[in-house]
Amino acid sequence: MAGLTIGKFADAEGVGVETVRFYQRRGLLAQPARGRSGFREYTEDDRWRLAFIRRAQGLGFTLAEISDLLGPAEARSTDEIVRTAEAKLAAVADQLGELARLQCRLRRLVQVCAHGSSDDCLALHLGDGHLGDGHLGREHPGREHFGYEHLSDTHDQLSSSVLSSPR
pLDDT, tens digit (0-9, with 9 covering 90-100), for 132-143: 444 444 443 433
pLDDT of residue 119: 76
Question: Which one-letter amino acid corresponds to residue 16?
Answer: G
pTM as predicted: 0.57
Average pLDDT of the segment spanning 124-149: 43
Checking if the pLDDT of 156 tops 50, the result is: no
pLDDT at 154: 42
The contacts of residue 117 (CB under 8 Å, 6+ apart) are none
The per-residue b/e assignment along 69-93, b for 16 or more CB within 10 angstroms, e otherwise, is bbeeeeeeeeeeeeebbeebeeeee
Summarised one tens digit per residue, pLDDT across range 16-68 is 999 999 999 998 998 888 888 888 899 888 999 999 999 999 999 999 989 88
Of 111, 114, 103, the residue nearest 136 (C-alpha): 111
More confident residue, 74 or 76: 76
